[in-house]
Amino acid sequence: MKKLVFLLVVLFPLLLLSPQTYSQSSCSECHGDKDFAGVSADGKERSLFIDENVLNKSVHSELECTDCHTDAKGDPHPEKLEKVNCGMCHEDELDNYAQGIHGKLLASGNTNAPTCASCHGTHDILSSGNKLSTTYPSNLPKTCGQCHKSGGIASGGNLRVHEPVENFSEGVHGLALAKGNEQAASCNDCHESHKLLPLSDPSSPIFRMNISQTCGQCHKDIAAEYDASIHGIALANGEMDAPTCTSCHGEHAIQSPEVSTSPTNPANISEQTCSPCHGLMKLNKKYGILINPVTSYNESYHGLASEGGSKVAANCTSCHGIHDILPQSNPNSSINPANLTKTCGQCHPNATETFAKSYIHAKPLSLEDKIADVIRKIYIYLIIIVIGGMILHNFIIWLSYVRAKYKALQTEETVQRFDRHWVVQHIATFTSFILLVITGFALKFPDAAWVKVLASIGLTEAVRRIVHRISAVVLITAAIYQWLFLLFAKSWKGELWSLMPNFRDIGGFINHMKYHLGISKTKPNFDRYSYIEKAEFWALVWGNIIMALTGLVLWFPAFATYFFPSWIVKASETIHYYEAWLASLAILFYHMFFAIFHPEDYPLNFTGLTGKMPKEEARERFPRWFKRIADDKQGKDNEWDFHSKMK
């Protein structure tokens, strides 16, 4: 008995201090110190402090440290401890993890692969039902975003979806979670928690043939409609071309149909949702569908009205249904001949059977299509003959007036406003500019009817490319030719000075407008060049420089990017295109007005072609210049020298 008492009194305290009974409080003697630290494998200092308050709030608060750190028994414990094996308690979860893509990445030696602690934490693990838990539904996007956000370690991998976390947060599910809707789907509802499988795995919830079941967890009725539809049945039969939920709604950035940018918004249904499949001829042929259903819809009143912003015009789903789309042969289909009148009656209460047939997609070689094709051809030829005849008729009349005006100019006393060098440069510039406009815009609008006409007469893209570049060389050469004369030719001395803008041009503009508005009865007293000619000249200089520089970048992009950053090509393309529009419209509505359509110049101002201007016209339009050359008495043989006192 005395021996037993001795053992209890002396040895029991020693048993309490033995490795087998090493308590949490014993661990806190070291790990409870905020300054307690060690050195990690990479040689960096790492804090070994464990906050007991955090640990006590976790799901593992009832466990001893050594329940997880089984090799930490002893005082002191081994310097290097084995990694915690969560599978000791969570065997099923660990097994699922090992079968998933994350577990396989870790097993392959990928140090970036997420582990249990990556998602659940370490000593601060909370129940997934706790709103502060990293695995609580509304917190999952942030947890998964540690790797899957833009710029995360998983963003550059083999992920099919771009920026999944950011897109999810902007979608209906992410927004609902952010507003506190705990029923909204989060990451693990579609991807599962531990056994995350790639979409290529047939057992994955995001495998194409399993998508409707995955979405059906929340959208049960809709999933049932889809599964019974032509799309759902086709997919179930192994037709991988058939669309599933994500084909129309997207994966992460799912938007409400009420949002204008949503692919399921009524205004976008045709082009963004149905067109990717039904706009492909190879798929339509493969499955015996109409060759051009999207095109025929877009050309109909419904399509045109929808494109114009109508919110009530019928779209694809208005007639075919949304999730419950059925083949025409199905008696329950909304496009079955027996149901067409009812379908059209949704918008047209007085719809008849004949009316219903008039708005369907006409089948190739059908009676409706043949009749429409004959009428189309008749009108195309009619337009060509009638309108072409009208144009020819009016051109002959206009040409007769041009010829008459030219003959009249031969008998008039003229002023030599420009010499032959200026005339040659003007004709070269105008001709090359027209060719550049035609060949340039033909490249930008290859499907336009006039471009197809050019191709039919031999001006294909390959030929137009050569013509465009030759014209560009001619335009640049003409510009250089003009400036050499402006700067160095004695015969053009003072010409550049005459083209310089000055404050007098402001007054000239104001007086010109007052005269034509009827406010003033006095015509403006212009010199050799008015503000009109100066504006056109400097616009031409600016346009030539811009178009030449950007054109050379586009002609020799490899050479250009040797000296400039990569954005120079795209920037040059944009500038070249819009400068072309600016120049073309300026020539059409401004220069051509003064060359042809100005009442005093109609049907054509010949000065740009001959260099000569009628004496009376010079007196009326440029009185100061005319007076100066008249006073200098430089006239010779009815032709007045334009060089006199340009300054």
pLDDT in tens, 84-117: 999 999 999 999 999 999 999 999 998 888 999 9
Mean pLDDT of the chain: 88
Residue 643: its pLDDT value, please? Answer: 43
List pLDDT tens digits, range 6-23.
444 444 444 444 444 456
Cβ atoms within 10 A of the Cβ of 222, count? Answer: 16
Query: At which residue do the structure tokens 């003072």 appear?
Result: 494
Domain ranges, ordered by start, for the chain: 2-82, 412-640
Residue 418: its pLDDT value, please? Answer: 93
> pTM to 2 decimals?
0.68
List pLDDT tens digits, range 221-264.
999 999 999 999 999 999 999 999 999 999 999 999 999 899 99
> Is residue 646's pLDDT more than 80?
no
> Is residue 37's pLDDT more than 60?
yes
Residue 267: its pLDDT value, please? Answer: 87
Out of 34-48, 97-111, 374-388, which region has the weakest mean confidence (pLDDT)?
34-48
Using pLDDT thresholds of 50, 70 and 90, give the confidence band for residue 364: low
> Is residue 5's pLDDT more than 60?
no
Residue 19: its pLDDT value, please? Answer: 44
Residue 18: its pLDDT value, please? Answer: 46
Helix axes 449-456, 420-444, angle to 10 degrees: 110
Q: Percent of the chain, pLDDT > 90? A: 61
Residue 635: its pLDDT value, please? Answer: 46
Pairing mode, if any, of strands 414-416 and 639-640?
Answer: parallel
- Better pLDDT: 364 or 134: 134
> Is residue 60's pLDDT more than 60?
yes
Region 586-592 average pLDDT: 94
- Better pLDDT: 359 or 325: 325
List pLDDT tens digits, range 290-333.
777 888 888 888 888 888 888 888 999 999 999 999 998 999 99
Pull the structure tokens for residue 198: 């790639």
Residue 489: its pLDDT value, please? Answer: 92
474 contact partners, CB below 8 Å, separation of at least 6 = 428, 431, 432
> Is residue 3's pLDDT more than 60?
no
Q: How far apart are CA 421 and CA 423, in angstroms?
A: 5
Out of 288-297, 465-474, 590-599, which region has the weakest mean confidence (pLDDT)?
288-297
Region 573-599 average pLDDT: 95
Residue 11: its pLDDT value, please? Answer: 44
Residue 363: its pLDDT value, please? Answer: 64
Q: How far apart are CA 540 and CA 486, in angstroms?
A: 15
Angle at 169 between CA 167 and CA 172, to 5 degrees: 95
Residue 41: its pLDDT value, please? Answer: 72
> Is residue 493's pLDDT more than 60?
yes
So what's the architecture of 412-640 in CATH?
Up-down Bundle (1.20)
> Is residue 637's pLDDT more than 50?
no
The residue count of the chain comes to 647
Q: Which amino acid, one-letter code, is at 337?
A: P
Query: At which residue do the structure tokens 């399993």 appear?
Result: 210
CA 187 from chain centre, in angstroms, equals 28
Cβ atoms within 10 A of the Cβ of 42, count? Answer: 6
Backbone angles phi, psi at 494, to 5 degrees: 90, -10
- Better pLDDT: 578 or 637: 578
* Torsion sign, CA atoms 268, 269, 270, 274: positive
Residue 157: its pLDDT value, please? Answer: 57
Q: How far apart are CA 614 and CA 416, in angstroms?
A: 9
Query: At which residue do the structure tokens 């008998």 appear?
Result: 411
Residue 101: its pLDDT value, please? Answer: 92
Backbone angles phi, psi at 350, to 5 degrees: -95, 20
> Is residue 539's pLDDT more than 50?
yes
Pairing mode, if any, of strands 612-614 and 414-416?
Answer: antiparallel
Q: How far apart are CA 283 and CA 502, in angstroms?
A: 66
List pLDDT tens digits, range 144-153.
988 888 777 7
> Is residue 546's pLDDT more than 90?
yes
Q: How far apart are CA 248 and CA 580, in angstroms?
A: 39
485 contact partners, CB below 8 Å, separation of at least 6 = 421, 422, 425, 491, 492, 495
Residue 77: its pLDDT value, please? Answer: 83
Q: Confirm if 259 and 265 have CB atoms less than 8 A apart.
A: yes
> Is residue 35's pLDDT more than 50?
yes
Out of 68-72, 77-81, 279-283, 362-366, which region has the weakest mean confidence (pLDDT)?
362-366
Using pLDDT thresholds of 50, 70 and 90, give the confidence band for residue 513: very high
Q: Confirm if 399 and 406 have CB atoms less than 8 A apart.
A: no
